Chain A
Amino acid sequence: MNRIFNSAEIPFIRLSKFLAEAPKKVNPKLSSEEKIGYYNRKIGDALLDDFWTSSVFNDFLCKATGLKPKFRKSSHISYSSGDYSLLHMDESESNRLLVMYDLTKKWRHEWGGYDLYTSPDKDPLVCNRDFGSLMIVKLNPGDLSCTRYVSLKAQSSAHIDWIVYDLD
């Protein structure tokens, strides 16, 4: 897994059906979060916060990436029709590992809502919505991420547990 992670220009690994049993009900308590020109979305506590902060998951991350990530924060983020986040919200970020656990059900690609990662002089990395998948991405300072605008025609919301780990 370590070799797969480091094989791409922007190091990443994506694992479908990561958990044997994904949460059946996704009904977190969320509040609106807006900073015009940066993002418009809903945010709350990560559904699986205990797991993301556990030593079991941290050990897994170390083996999968060959890195030593240190937990920073976790959230549950939801994007509904009209919501988005833009790349420059990451402009002041440092070396980090982003982990996204996708809890989006019944999504259509044409609604947008996919995650995008960019790095100077490298091809961008696109991650479509896929219920139950775990995405791990290593980003350096100057690397940016965002979630594509969600169409007003979207009939459901994208839901992600979003976790950031700092890297030395």
Chain B
Amino acid sequence: MSTSQDLANRPTASDDAPALIPLVDVVEDADGITLTADMPGAQKDTLAIDVNGDTLTIDATISLGESTGMQPLHAEVRAPRYRRSFTLSRELDLTHIDASLKDGVLNLRLPKLETARPRRIEVRAA
């Protein structure tokens, strides 16, 4: 990426905020790819899944519902959000991505395009 592009794509202030990289499992089968991400504290209404060109970005704000006036004593999770990007490949059907969030686990199903699925080639008798 050239410098001028870097400047043009300069992240906004919110993109710059500290974010945790969620841990993921990525598994491919014949029909598509399943991405599972650990995002404890994420809620459906503050979770964003964006596809921009061939980049998939998942972004979520962590909400704990802490009492007001709470003073932190010890913290191992020290950022209020999750963010991670993935580069997608061409054979995936980006218009049919299915997402679900349950108990802080995001499940994304990226199906392959019909043409990209494995096919069995019939061999005809000569």
To the question of whether A and B form a pair in one complex, the answer is: no
